[in-house]
Each structure stands twice: as structure tokens, then as C-alpha cells.
Structure 1
Amino acid sequence: MALARAIRALGPDVFLPCWSDADDWFSVNAADRFEAVRRCGRCPVRGECLGAAVARGEKYGVWGGVQFPAVPSTGAGR
């Protein structure tokens, strides 16, 4: 829940990079995933996102600027 608290603390006008083009974070295309990692660099909740992904045992996707190794053969939504 640290991630949700961190997002709420930013206020109602916040816009996180993964809220647009979310498919890039789960794309089978390496260039898309690289772009997602790059866009995470500007995210104010990057650390909380990574921590939450690790705690949930995420297996694939880009979380908190880190590309998890197992990428699905077809894109998966958040």
C-alpha cells in the first residue's frame, strides 16, 4: 500500500508516465520496453512502484524503471 499512499500524497493533478501508453510497459518489443524504462526515470513514485512489484512477485513488465526478465509472448495489460 506504500505505492497507493505515495500516489495519493502527490495530489489530484499528478500524471504518472505509465498512465499513458501502458502497453509499452508489457510490450514484447524491446524498443517499447526501453522507452518505458526511460519514462520511469521521471516518475516521482518509481521506488514505491518497484517495491510493490517485488512484493507482489511480478514476473514480467517494467516496474519502477526495472525491466523484469520474463516478458510474455503476447502483450499483457496492467
Structure 2
Amino acid sequence: MTDYIRGSTRPHKPPEDQGISLAGFGIPTASMNTWMTLQGWFAAGEVPPCAGRHEWTSSSTKDKRLAIRLCADCPAKHACREFAETNNERYGIWGGQDRSTR
């Protein structure tokens, strides 16, 4: 078995000053802290109200109102909003805010 298969070789290791990078997945370095907060929340088994629902990306005013209302009690709301702001998301409901009206 080669070192690469065993996982002891990291052919794409980022430089030490760069830290963790998920840029290959479209996640900019500037939003890594927020991304990790959200992922920690999901890894703990929490399920956000937006999971598997279409209202967060719908263009219907009724759907948008429902999504914003459901975001109100979500513990990930602030991290979600910060992630959207950092990444300049322009569409959908993020952290209880309609990004398409910005």
C-alpha cells in the first residue's frame, strides 16, 4: 500500500500561513470560521428549519415570509447570515434575511 492510499501523504497541503482552505469547494478563506461554526452545529446532529425545504430559494413572497419566520428560532441564524454576507450571496433567505432585496 502506498503512503498516498494510507493517507500519510498530503499532496495538496496548503502553506502553513494559509491555514485550512476549502477554496476548491467554493468556500473562501474569509468565511472559514463561520463555515466551521455551521458545520459543527450540523455535526452535532442539529437540523435547521431550512433542511430539505424549497422556501429558502423560492421567488414566492409567501414562501419567503415563511422561511424568514422559521429562521427566527434557528440557533445557526447569525452564522448563516454572516456566511451569506461574507460570500456576497445574492439570492435566497440566509439567516432570516432576504438576500435578493439587497
TM range (shorter): 0.7 to 0.9
* Unmatched segments (≥5 aa) in structure 2: 1-31
Give the Cα–Cα distance (whole angstroms) in 1 for the partners of residues 41 and 90 of structure 2. 28
Matched length: 69
Greater Rg over alpha carbons, structure: 2
Distance 1:9 1:35, change over 3 A: closer
TM-score computed with the length of structure 2 as normaliser: 0.59
Residue aligning to 2:49: 17
Offset, 1:8: 1.0
| Identity across the alignment (%) | 28
TM-score computed with the length of structure 1 as normaliser: 0.75
1:35-46 matches, cutoff 5 A: 35-46=66-77
The question of 1:53 aligning with 2:95 is answered: no
Which structure has the highest strand share of the two?
A: 1
Query: Higher relative contact order at CA 8 Å, sep ≥6: structure 1 or structure 2?
Result: 1
Give the Cα–Cα distance (whole angstroms) in 2 for the partners of residues 63 and 19 of structure 1. 12
Which structure has the highest helix share of the two?
A: 1
